[in-house]
Amino acid sequence: LKTFLIIFCVVFAMNKLVYINAVIPSESMQDTIMKGDRVLGNRLAYIKDDPERYDIVIFKYPDDPSKIFIKRVIGLPGETVEIREGRIYIDGASEPLEEDYLKEEWTVNNDGYVFQVPDDSYLVLGDNRNVSLDARYWADEAMEYGVAATESEAEKYSYVSRDAILGKAEFKYWPKVGWIR
């Protein structure tokens, strides 16, 4: 019984301090991470470093912090991110971001977005953009849920604040095993 109690305490502490365990509930990150995959995230990844573009992060959903989401970092603090015809441009660049992880043509809500990422936040999108509930929708949902009363008040819900990021998704362990990239 003593051994079981020690093992339980160690596993509990590791889960709260070192890693985060997540089950992927939707197709929003396909084909990088599939619905039903079980993922481990590193809670210590951003102790000294900040999230970088293309990192896959596990975070508290801006509209309802009791929910945990997983998406890819696209926009960094202070950047202007523009979505035009299924391409992403950072700070007025003439060339779009290289996104070789997208497995199909992005056709849904792929044009007319401009995001001014706040200094303490990140813009995140799913890899399966045609079905992903991501930054493109969160401000509207904040108004729909009554979390925000006006469009300008709702704008902040489009971003994930630095302190809402729980960890960096790094490893899939079920049903297939492998590193996440």
Q: Which residues are catalytically annotated?
A: 28, 71
**Number of helical H runs and strand E runs in the chain:** 3, 11
d(CA 28, CA 23): 13
3-class secondary structure, 165: strand
Report residue 6: phi and psi, to 5°: -65, -45
d(CA 51, CA 44): 11
CA within 13 Å, CB half, 62: 27
In the chain, what is the straight-line distance between the N-terminal and C-terminal CA atoms, in Å?
A: 40
